[in-house]
A and B are shown apart, each in its own frame.
Chain A
Amino acid sequence: MSASFKRGINSFKEQMDAPVAAFFSSCVRCGLCSQACLFYTETGDPKYTPINKLEPMRRVWQQEYSFWGKLASALGISKPVTDAELTEWETLVYDSCTLCGRCSMVCPVGNDIAYMIRKMREGMAASGHAPEGLIGATQRAITIGSPMGVKLPALQAQIRHVEKDLGCTVPVDVQGVDYMLLLSSMEIMNFPEFIGAITRIFRHAGISWTISSQAFEATNSGIQIGVSEIAAELVERVVRAATELKVKYVISPECGHAYMAIRWEGPNLIGRPYDFKVVHILELLDELRTSGRLQTSGKETQRLTYHDPCQIARRGGVVQQPRNLLREVAADFVEMPEAGIMNWCCGAGGGVSANERADEIRLKAFIRKKKQLDEINPDALVSACSNCRIQLEDGLEENEMDIPVLSLTEIIADHLVEKEQKEGQQP
């Protein structure tokens, strides 16, 4: 069975629920959401108005789930959604929406537009309208275990090098520990120093933890492309590994959508609650800080600012923790205008970065971040998502801005009080 228009429309019908119906019923076409969307503000093209990105799904709702709409359909005065329209909307739904949810914060009638785009992608994927790049990533996620094709031996090689550099072991497949760490492929490939950083922090704080060789991948292409059963399968792998290792917590790494997938969507995708808890690495670090298990020394003197990854802050609820942590290690921490839950997206989330077709608009959308940075002129930019990080580096380079992008976890690791050395000297 292959993707088909019919399956797509059927999928739209499956997605309708009370919130969607309430949202569509409430829209007054005021256009405020356009001003919340970086794809509109940076292009000025009204088709990027967030609510417009839902138009085909709205029509399915109206024609199938509202009395007047059904009446209009029966009278033949409403035109059904066509496959050509879905094709037209494909770029709006995948290339120019990062699911950042800023529009959902601004809509005066309270429409959670990002919630609906997430649902709309189910129908788009089922009707064969997902972008090539995301399809490839999703297929690799299922067949290889990583959207970027990172296999266990690669991770093992990285681990071996970390172990050699740090002179300690990185626990893999250790049963009965408290925490199971997930990693994003991005971290394994582009930012392997993250593994070293986290190892050092955990050694410092005395955390009992492990990485699972069966499910080390945190990302979930299934929720980006919008196929719940694929997303559920990826979540199941993590749940299975966590259950086998009998851990109490699963740690979501510095990746935005991974947190959304494992923390918030996961239990709903697999249809049952977890018997472990999911924490974001920043949540854990801040908890360690308050309990005194994480001690840092020295402060960065550079002017630092923090970019909130949308799925971690606005859509995930981890907002205060990174600020607490940064203040611990930064002497000059400044907020961007509109930070925290009103932060502007980097422009590459929600699968946009995996979609080569979106490259041009992705870099255009970055200008919004540039404008934010221009207002405060930081020396360095800190974030907690590898995907944001790559996009930020990309955009900064493109705009010839000399601002390094740093990982918050790595900065913390660089400022650990060196008790490990003392311990190391004792037998």
Chain B
Amino acid sequence: MTETELLMWARGPALQVATVIFLLGIMVRILEILVLGRKANLAEARGSAVAGGLRTIVTRSFPDRGTLQRSTFNIVAGYVFHTGFFVVLFLFAPHILVFRDLLGFGWPSIPTPIIDATTLVTIITLLAVLLHRVQDKVMRFLSRFQDYLAWFVTILPLVTGYLAFHRIGLTPPTLIAIHILSVELLMVVFPFTKLMHAFTLFMARYYNGAIAGYKGVNS
């Protein structure tokens, strides 16, 4: 297999398969949750469940001060790598092209040196996050194989993307192929792991906020 064939395979059949697994898996998992349903609350409401749910979807992104003080690293590092990942994923011109191809519309990109620096910061943060997971007694205690797997498939596209951008080590088509394949690995692993939280957290936050909001509490 030549590198162009590899690249074409990554951009073609592999991407098709990964997309199917990714979207099908996500739909299955989301619907499995939703279809399970929940009982209507018969207690007299004090506040709005819907408003509470929607509010919590937003407000849960901002931790309370006590938690911020007690878990500073966790929260700051979490913010950095999530933001970094999304900036790189959604604002890098070549990536936007993929979304435009998929969705039929695109959006403006940001300068590549910023993407480049963001990638590096995100990679470093993710390494620190792994170190923290291994060292922090609570996180180490809670961690299962899939936590490390999820970490790996998350950092991999960043690293391969960085290498591809700077064309380090191998020829560009090979590097791009590896990068695309690493993203496809992420897509394939996604529905089977906690990475699903990217979608289900909106449901979780909604339910949390709705349960509290019904009682008049802003959770």
The answer to whether any beta carbons of A and B sit under 8 Å apart in the complex is yes
Total interface residues on B, using CB and 8 Å?
61
Chain B 5-35 interface mask (CB, 8 Å, partner A; 1/0) = 0000000000000000000000011001111
A315 touches B215 (CB 8 A): yes
Interface centre among A30, A35, A115, by most B CB within 10 Å?
A30
A18, B207: Cβ atoms closer than 8 Å = yes
Closest to B138 in A: A31
List B residues 186-219 near A (Cβ within 8 Å). 191-192, 194, 196-197, 200-201, 203-209, 211-212, 215-219
Binds B, one of A168-176, A181-189, A262-270: A262-270
Q: Given that A271-B42, A317-B215 are known contacts, is A29 also in contact with B194, CB under 8 Å in the complex?
A: yes
Q: Is the CB of A25 within 8 A of B71?
A: no
B46 interface hit (Cβ, 8 Å): yes
Given A19-B207, A267-B43, answer yes or no on A27-B215 (Cβ-Cβ < 8 Å): no
A17 close to B38 (CB less than 8 A)? yes
> What's the least CB distance linking B163 to chain A, in Å?
27
Any chain A CB within 8 A of the CB of B44? yes
A residues near B192, Cβ cutoff 8 Å: 68
Given contacts A31-B139, A32-B67, contact A316 B36 (CB under 8 A): no
B47 within 8 A of A: yes
State how many angstroms separate the Cβ of B19 from the closest Cβ of chain A. Answer: 19
Known contacts: A266-B43, A342-B64. The answer to whether A104 contacts B218 by CB under 8 A is no
Give chain B residues whose Cβ lies under 8 Å from the Cβ of A19.
38, 204, 207-208, 211
* B141 contacts A by Cβ under 8 Å: yes
Chain B residues, CB < 8 A from A49: 138, 141-142
Q: What's the Cα separation between A314 and B39 when bound, in Å?
A: 22
CB pair A111 B36 closer than 8 Å: no
Q: Give the nearest-CB partner of A109 in chain B.
A: B201
Specify which chain A residues have a CB less than 8 angstroms from the CB of B219 in the assembled complex.
104-105, 112, 341
Q: Within the assembled complex, what's the spacing in Å between the Cα atoms of A44 and B205?
A: 27
| Interface stretch (choices A2-10, A272-280, A378-386, A408-416) | A272-280
User: Do A32 and B42 touch (CB < 8 A)?
Assistant: no
Q: Which A206-255 residues have C-beta < 8 A from chain B?
A: none
Inter-subunit contact A27/B141 (CB<8 Å): no
- Per the bound structure, the CA–CA distance linking A272 and B67 in Å amounts to 39
Q: Is the CB of A46 within 8 A of B201?
A: no
Interface string of B119-151 (1 = CB under 8 A from A): 000000000000000001111111110010010
Q: Does B83 contact A (CB under 8 A)?
A: no
Contact status A26-B197, CB under 8 Å: yes
Interface status of B112 (Cβ within 8 A of chain A): no
Contact across chains for A22 and B43 when beta carbons are under 8 A apart: no
**Complex CA distance for A44 and B32, rounded to whole angstroms:** 36
Number of interface residues of A (CB under 8 A): 61
| Contacting pair B74 A30 (CB below 8 A) | yes
Of B36, B57, B142, B211, which one neighbours A29 at CB under 8 angstroms? Answer: B142
Q: Are A65 and B201 in touch, CB under 8 angstroms?
A: no
Q: Is the CB of A31 within 8 A of B136?
A: yes
Neighbour of B67 across the interface among A68, A106, A266, CB < 8 A = A106
Q: Which of A21, A265, A274 meets B36, CB within 8 Å?
A: A21
Query: Which of chain A's residues have a CB closer than 8 A to the CB of B56?
Result: 110
From 11 to 68 in chain A, residues with beta carbon under 8 angstroms from any chain B beta carbon are: 16-19, 21-23, 25-32, 34-36, 40-41, 44, 46-47, 49, 51-52, 65-68
Q: Is the CB of A67 within 8 A of B74?
A: no
Q: Looking at B33, B47, B203, which has the most chain A CB atoms within 10 Å of its CB?
A: B33
Query: Which residue on B lies nearest to A319, using beta carbons?
Result: B217
> Given that A104-B208, A108-B60 are known contacts, is A25 also in contact with B142, CB under 8 Å in the complex?
no
Give Cα A51 to B36, complex, Å.
21
Chain A residues with CB under 8 Å of B66's CB are 337-338, 342
Contact pattern, A 92-111, Cβ under 8 Å of B = 1, otherwise 0: 00000000000011111111
Chain A residues near B140 (CB, 8 Å)? 46
Say whether, besides A22-B200, A66-B29, A268 and B208 are in contact (CB < 8 Å): no
- Please state if B74 and A341 are interface contacts (CB–CB under 8 Å): no
Q: Which residues of A contact B191 (CB under 8 A)?
A: 68
Answer whether residue B41 sits at the interface, using C-beta atoms and an 8 A cutoff: yes
Question: Which chain B residues (78-124) contact chain A, with CB distance < 8 Å?
Answer: 78
Question: A residues within 8 A CB of B74?
Answer: 30-32
Residues of chain A within 8 A of B34, CB atoms compared: 18
Whether the Cβ atoms of A268 and B197 lie closer than 8 Å is no
A108 touching B207 in the complex, CB below 8 Å, given contacts A16-B36, A27-B197, A319-B217: no
Within the assembled complex, what's the spacing in Å between the Cα atoms of A28 and B151?
A: 11
A26 contacts B196, CB within 8 Å? yes
In the assembled complex, the CB of A234 is this many whole angstroms from the nearest CB of chain B, namely 16
What are some 6 contacts across the A-B interface (CB < 8 A)?
Answer: A32-B63, A32-B75, A46-B138, A65-B32, A66-B32, A110-B208
Chain B: residues with CB nearer than 8 A to chain A?
28-29, 32-39, 41-44, 46-47, 56-57, 60-61, 63-64, 66-67, 70-71, 74-75, 78, 136-144, 147, 150, 191-192, 194, 196-197, 200-201, 203-209, 211-212, 215-219
